[in-house]
């Protein structure tokens, strides 16, 4: 009985083609299919949404380490006292979007705020644009209405920003937000837990994710190698992982790097692990702890913030 391979899943005219020609035909087509969505998203020209790596994210290099730590401590205090999650993001520019559109995209992606409450707030500063915005989740629109957000920007923050004192401007703005929260008893009290924005959620098990990713590369590349050959199969594996990484992170460099690493791993794995093999080779990722982190000080999103465009913008 002839051995059944993935070639038999192809239409009969394609089954008759030599393996080399088949790979040349299907390899680029598969790679283009996998990479096309990511390329289309990149061509929009929109600024990428950064990873939520902490309470203070400065992509402009404006705040020194001491200022970032002091502001992070302020924000952690707000979360401990009120339960509300506030995040500060500084970017060079939001162009081609205006700051309101970009802030809404970021806040909607991060979903900062308690899961069952949705009380999140984003303070966004676009330094080159000389613009800033307070983006308020729906649950906080009564506590920090648009007019209050505008006053915090114009009366509290902008005077310091015109003097180039961004750290003081941010700190003063946070204090003004905290004062609004202190005057509102409508929000539920925070749970008795350390401020991390998700005390009821277990942290991500990065080791398990790495193991699953490794298995996916090995099994997926084995399938693609049988269908496309060693080189094109590895290339297709890299393109697939790169596309997934781009959609997960919207960070092009991360996607390219992950795709290259995956292609190299898939290529080197050929000959060691085959489809249907037990694959008893070396376990590859090492026994140490992974470097994954939920952000500065263990911070992570509560996952509950729902944003509807509330807040205010300003310039200095």
Taking only the tens place, the pLDDT of each residue in 242-271 is 776 666 655 667 678 777 877 777 766 655
161 close to 316: Cβ distance less than 8 angstroms? yes
In 3-state terms, the chain is what percent helix, strand and coil (to 5)?
Answer: 50, 10, 40
| Region 75-81 average pLDDT | 95
* Residue closest to 63 by CA, chosen among 167, 211, 170: 167
Residue 209 φ/ψ, nearest 5 degrees: -65, -40
Residue-wise burial string across 119-145, b where 16 or more C-beta atoms lie within 10 A, e elsewhere: bbbbbbbbbebebbbbbbbbbbbebbb
pLDDT at 238: 75
Residue 204: which pLDDT band, with cuts at 50, 70 and 90? very low
**Cα–Cα distance for residue pair 94/88, rounded to 1 Å:** 15
* Residue closest to 123 by CA, chosen among 151, 90, 76: 90
**Cα–Cα distance for residue pair 2/103, rounded to 1 Å:** 60
pLDDT over 70 at 308, yes or no: yes
Question: Which fold, 56-184?
Answer: Diaminopimelate Epimerase; Chain A, domain 1 (3.10.310)
pLDDT at 2: 57
Q: Is the pLDDT higher at 136 or at 200?
A: 136
| Continuous H helices in the chain | 12-15, 19-42, 65-82, 99-110, 146-151, 158-162, 166-182, 206-228, 230-249, 252-269
54 close to 295: Cβ distance less than 8 angstroms? yes
User: How many CB atoms sit inside 10 A of residue 53's CB?
Assistant: 13
Tell me, what DSSP letter sits at residue 157?
I
pLDDT at 282: 37
pLDDT over 50 at 26, yes or no: yes
pLDDT over 50 at 213, yes or no: yes
pLDDT at 291: 35
Residue 300: which pLDDT band, with cuts at 50, 70 and 90? confident
pLDDT over 60 at 52, yes or no: yes
Segment among 22-36, 148-162, 219-233, 294-308 with least mean pLDDT = 22-36
pLDDT over 80 at 42, yes or no: no
* Residue closest to 83 by CA, chosen among 123, 12, 139: 139
Residues 6+ apart with CB under 8 A from 293: 53
Reported as a single tens digit per residue, the pLDDT across 264-293 is 777 666 554 444 443 433 333 333 333 333
Percentage of the chain with pLDDT > 70? Answer: 60
Rounded mean pLDDT of the chain? 76
Where exactly does CATH 3.10.310.50 map onto the chain? Answer: 56-184
pLDDT at 9: 54
């Amino acid at each position: 009985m002839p051995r059944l391979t993935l070639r038999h899943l192809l239409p009969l005219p394609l089954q008759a083609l030599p393996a080399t020609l088949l790979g040349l035909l299907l390899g680029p087509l598969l790679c283009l299919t996998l990479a096309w969505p990511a390329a289309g998203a990149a061509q929009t020209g929109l600024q990428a949404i950064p990873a939520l790596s902490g309470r203070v994210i400065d992509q402009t290099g404006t705040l020194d380490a001491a200022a970032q730590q002091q502001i992070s401590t302020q924000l952690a205090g707000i979360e401990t006292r009120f339960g509300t999650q506030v995040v500060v993001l500084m970017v060079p520019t939001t162009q081609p979007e205006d700051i309101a559109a970009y802030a809404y995209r970021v806040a909607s992606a991060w979903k900062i705020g308690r899961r069952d409450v949705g009380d999140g707030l984003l303070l966004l500063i676009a330094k080159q644009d000389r613009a800033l915005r307070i983006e308020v989740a729906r649950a906080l629109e009564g506590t920090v209405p648009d007019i209050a957000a505008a006053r915090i920007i114009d009366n509290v923050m902008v005077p310091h920003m015109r003097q180039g004192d961004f750290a003081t401007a941010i700190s003063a703005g946070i204090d003004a937000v905290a004062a609004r929260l202190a005057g509102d008893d409508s929000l539920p009290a925070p749970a008795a837990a350390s401020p991390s924005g998700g005390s009821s959620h277990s942290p991500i098990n990065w080791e398990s994710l790495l193991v699953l990713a490794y298995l996916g590369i090995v099994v997926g590349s084995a399938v693609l190698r049988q269908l496309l050959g060693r080189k094109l199969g590895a290339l297709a594996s890299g393109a697939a992982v790169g596309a997934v990484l781009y959609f997960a992170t919207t960070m092009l460099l991360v996607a390219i790097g992950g795709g290259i690493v995956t292609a190299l791993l898939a290529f080197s794995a050929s000959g060691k692990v085959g489809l249907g093999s037990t694959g008893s080779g070396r376990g590859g990722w090492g026994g140490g702890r992974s470097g994954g982190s939920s952000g500065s000080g263990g911070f992570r999103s509560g996952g509950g913030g729902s944003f509807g465009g509330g807040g205010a913008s300003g310039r200095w």
